[in-house]
Amino acid sequence: MTVVADVQEALRGLRREVCALHEQLTRYQLVVWTAGNVSARVPGHDLMVIKPSGVSYDELTAENMVVCDLDGRVVEGDHAPSSDTEAQAYVYRHLPHVGGVVHTHSTYATAWAARGEPVPCVLTMAADEFGGEIPVGPFAIIGDDSIGRGIVETLRDSRSPAVLMRNHGVFTIGPTARAAVKAAVMCEDVARTVHVARQLGEPIPVEQHHVDALFERYQHVYGQR
């Protein structure tokens, strides 16, 4: 598959954006070494842009981002794509509203994943961003679309843009790659705060009608429109 000329301008902009968003993963200490990644769907095309595999964050450039089709095959780029490519391609194929996917091993959220325990909705921030608890997805081995299947299975009918894949780490989705990065940042913050709260006692759940009202306001009223 060859990327036609009229797509190249969109790809240049998306490569720059995806590269820059990786800086947010290190800024918020959501990743270490070369682990983790950001990907973005190319609007209007069955393509995605994703981080190259095993490349240090301080060596990432717009030019070394990899373009793949939605079966995970490389279309453009000189590097092998992330080992999460097939999983994320599966998400894009099966959740057409998703424009960005992020993967991290952020410490507190991944600790919940290691326990196989959802992060309960005991904070208004959790209600705002996740619309309830942050769910746990099934254990899956990296390297094919198994993780993608678990993400889709868990999030298809959930308001949460984040899933804790058991014994692995965090995957977040969003209408854009930036929104998915934001969800990853918020996921770690909520997971950390709830962990600390548990050291002090049993956190108090937010009542469901309040969760619904908070989620509705945050998603449709909060901020600049």
Residue 181 is part of a domain; what is its CATH number? 3.40.225.10
**How many domains would you assign to the chain?**
1
- Whether 225 maps to a domain, the answer reads no
Give the residue among 35, 44, 36, 37 at the shortest CA–CA distance from 11: 44
Has residue 43 been placed in a domain?
A: yes
User: Is 175 within a domain?
Assistant: yes
**Inter-CA distances, 144 with 73, 167, 168, Å:** 12, 17, 15
| Residue range 20-69, pLDDT digits in tens | 999 999 999 999 999 999 999 999 999 999 999 999 999 999 999 999 99
Domain residues for the domain of 184 are 5-220
User: What percent of the chain clears pLDDT 90, i.e. is strictly above it?
Assistant: 96
- pLDDT of 190 > 70? The answer is yes
- Looking at residue 188, its pLDDT comes to 99
Q: Is 43 exposed, middle or buried (0-12, 13-18, 19+ CB in 10 A)?
A: exposed
In a domain, 85, yes or no: yes
